[in-house]
Structures are given as structure tokens and as C-alpha cells.
Amino acid sequence: MLLNRFYPWETADSVFSIDYEKLYRLGYRGILFDIDNTLVLHGADSNEEVDALFRRLHSMGLQTLLLSNNSEERILRFLAHIESPYIAEADKPAPAAYLQAVKTLGLSREQTIVIGDQLFTDVYGANRAGLASIRVDFLRHPGERHFGKRRAAENLVLWFWRHSPAWKRLGGIVK
């Protein structure tokens, strides 16, 4: 089916509802994170909760890399209190930067997972590069209702995904 290219391996409410210990037990050793609307609101700096998440992941033995279509200046501002490699202006969903990220971490595709908020960039790019993915709900300001045509299209794709055999391939990684 044509929509399969946009299907994630799993979905989660947020980066904080993922069972990273289970991901580690499943053999994952690297996580490629999107930044805006995945880790923080669009354009926001990192915060203590996100900084603590990265410290926890690194202490578990998981490597991280920020894979973003943002500029290097934006990413460096976000990384003020986090030590992680990054790829700026990644041209997602093109697979080249995803594969470069895996190489940078010194891992295999099977050991690397992508976490992002967009099906048409983060997840589609992961699928094109042969990587597992978790799509998280995008972050919004409190009370924000409008989310645009792209998000409506994503919800339609997710409806088909939830009614397909591909649903929840990682099984139980959401707390």
C-alpha cells in the first residue's frame, strides 16, 4: 500500500512516555531525535526535563544524535546543556543524513531508531533509510487548537496504520 512508506513502527504521546530500557533490551543503541515539536516547542531552547532525559539515556549506554532541518545556530543553542552530535540542515526526508547519522554513531541500522513528530519528514525519512521509528505527538502551546492541513493528513495516515498489520511493531515500548 502506498501509505506504508509513512507508517511509524510505534507511536507515543511524548518522548517522556517511551520505555527506553525496553528499547535497549531490544538491541537499540542509538536514537536520532528531531528537535522542534518533538523535544521542545518550535524554536524553544532545551529545558531541565529534556536535559535530564539526555543524561539518563547516555547513562544507560544509549547514544543520541540530533537530526534536524534547522540551522546549526539553532541546534547549538538547543544543545547548550546537552552533549550530543548533530546534523543540521539534514534535508529530511532524504535518507542521506539518516545514514550519515548512523555512521557517525558507529552503529548499524538495526541498532538505531528515529524519534520525531512528523510522518512526512521524520518517519518517511527513517523508512527510506531502513530505520525503525517512533512518532510522538507534536508539542503545542496550551490551548492551541489549530494544527494545519499537514497534521490532518498525518492523522488520516495514522488511522490507516492503526488498522493495518504494521501497527505497533515494537510492541509495548510506551509506558
Residue 85 pLDDT:
98
CA separation for the pair 3, 116 (Å, rounded) = 18
Give a yes or no: residue 109 inside a domain.
yes
With 0-12 / 13-18 / 19 or more C-beta atoms within 10 angstroms meaning exposed / middle / buried, residue 42 is: middle
Range of the domain at 140: 2-162
At 156, which CATH number?
3.40.50.1000
In sequence order, the 6+-apart residues with CB closer than 8 A to the CB of 115 are 15, 18, 31, 32, 33, 34, 38, 122, 133, 134, 136
CA separation for the pair 84, 3 (Å, rounded) = 33
Give a yes or no: residue 23 inside a domain.
yes
pLDDT above 70 (res 169): no
Give a yes or no: residue 126 inside a domain.
yes
Flag whether the pTM goes above 0.85. Answer: yes
Give a yes or no: residue 174 inside a domain.
no
Give a yes or no: residue 168 inside a domain.
no
Give a yes or no: residue 170 inside a domain.
no
Residue 138 pLDDT:
75
Q: Structurally, how many domains does the chain consist of?
A: 1
Q: Which of 41-45, 104-108, 124-128 is predicted with the least confidence, judged by mean pLDDT?
A: 41-45
Interval 133-143 mean pLDDT: 79
Give a yes or no: residue 167 inside a domain.
no
Share of the chain above pLDDT 70, in %: 87
pLDDT above 80 (res 161): no
CA separation for the pair 28, 118 (Å, rounded) = 21
pLDDT above 80 (res 127): yes
Residue 5 pLDDT:
87
Give a yes or no: residue 55 inside a domain.
yes
Q: What is the pLDDT of residues 50-109, one digit of tens each?
A: 999 999 999 999 999 999 999 999 999 999 999 999 999 999 999 999 999 999 999 999
